[in-house]
Amino acid sequence: MGRKVPTQVHHAATRLVQGKLLSRPPLWYSAVAQYPPLPLPPRQAVNRTNFDSPLGLQSRSDQTIPEGSSKPYEKMRKEVKPRVMPILYLEDKVRQRFFLDHPFEAFRPRALVEQREVEPEHPVVGKDWTRLRQRGRNPTSEDCIKFAVSLHVHHLLPLSQAYRTACQQYAALRSEHTIASQVAFLEAKAYGAKFNPESSEIGRGFKLEEQALSKWNKATTADVNEQASRKKWRPIFPKQVEDFGLWTRGEEYLHKYKAGETPKYQPNTDAISSPVDSSEAER
């Protein structure tokens, strides 16, 4: 038996059954006929059944071909080239609408550093999530988006109404948080607290950076001054010109050695080190 393409095996089995070469179809025949294998090569697409075909194409498969008008129906029966279907999530649609309506929410700082473990989901989910306040009094934009999707999916609200409800609760909680922050600031200031621009984390970071840089500058200046101070001092020995006489080929040295005189290898230590003037040191 010749080698068969996997997508043609069940067709070959159908022909064998119709030709009565097989008394009964194999056990796998019904399953493979209902769910055929992937097409090979990939450009040959399998015709979709009426069950999983789009709504606009379900009625076309049941239509009969009238006489004299075969060309339009031949185009409909033609195998469609496979295309990558778009991947869409409802959260992306709501997120796009949210940031179009609230562009300044994108300027709020957020930490994008990934931790070792994925953060667990909040326990309030599904039908239990009826108010945005249930996830805290200071919600983020992602909380608002997830709340709108939850109202649409679990509470069966229209997407426009769910989005409007989520935005209204989000705006109410944000305004409440802003007013509470302003009142806390005035209360702390009334009790004697002092606030300056450097009290924030950003100002504190700049201050620590300036302190570290100033230490480096001081250390560099100290090293330069120390090197300069070392260069101003040097040992000075008086120049002594001794008359050694004529060269005796070492006879005088041997004569002193035989006489028991100890040779002096150290220089004259009577002269001590003395400071040198800056003008002389520059020379």
For 253-283, write each residue's pLDDT tens digit. Answer: 888 888 888 766 655 555 444 444 545 445 5
Average pLDDT over every residue of 200-204: 75
Lowest mean pLDDT among 82-91, 104-113, 217-226: 217-226
Identify the residue with better confidence: 246 or 163.
163
Selection from 78-82, 144-148, 210-214, 262-266 with the highest mean pLDDT? 144-148
Residue 177's pLDDT is 93
What residues contact 278, with CB distance under 8 A and at least 6 apart?
Answer: 232
Name the residue with higher pLDDT: 39 or 192: 192
Q: Determine the average pLDDT of the residues in 189-217.
A: 79
Mean pLDDT, the chain, as a whole number?
A: 76
What does the pLDDT average to over 153-178?
Answer: 94
Q: Of the candidates 253, 94, 81, which has an alpha carbon nearest to the alpha carbon of residue 163? A: 94
- Three-state secondary structure call for residue 16: helix
> Average pLDDT in the 174-200 region?
85
- Sequence-ordered list of residues with C-beta below 8 angstroms from that of 189, at least 6 positions apart, any chain: 195
Percentage, residues of the chain above pLDDT 90? 27
**Can you give the pLDDT at residue 155?**
93
pLDDT at 266: 57
158 or 72, which is more confident: 158
Contacts of 42 (CB under 8 A, 6+ apart): 82
Amino acid at 26: P
Q: What is the pLDDT of residues 100-113, one digit of tens each?
A: 999 999 888 887 77
Stated pTM of the model: 0.46
Check: CB of residue 44 under 8 Å from CB of residue 79: yes
Write out pLDDT tens, residues 5-51.
777 888 888 889 888 888 888 999 989 888 887 765 555 555 656 65
pLDDT band at residue 252, thresholds of 50, 70 and 90? confident
CA distance 94 to 149: 8
Task: Name the residue among 73, 54, 77, 57 with its Cα closest to residue 65.
Answer: 73
**Number of alpha carbons in the 13 Å side-chain half-sphere of residue 147:** 25
Q: Is the pLDDT assigned to residue 161 strictly greater than 60? A: yes
Comparing 221 with 64, which gets the higher pLDDT?
Answer: 221
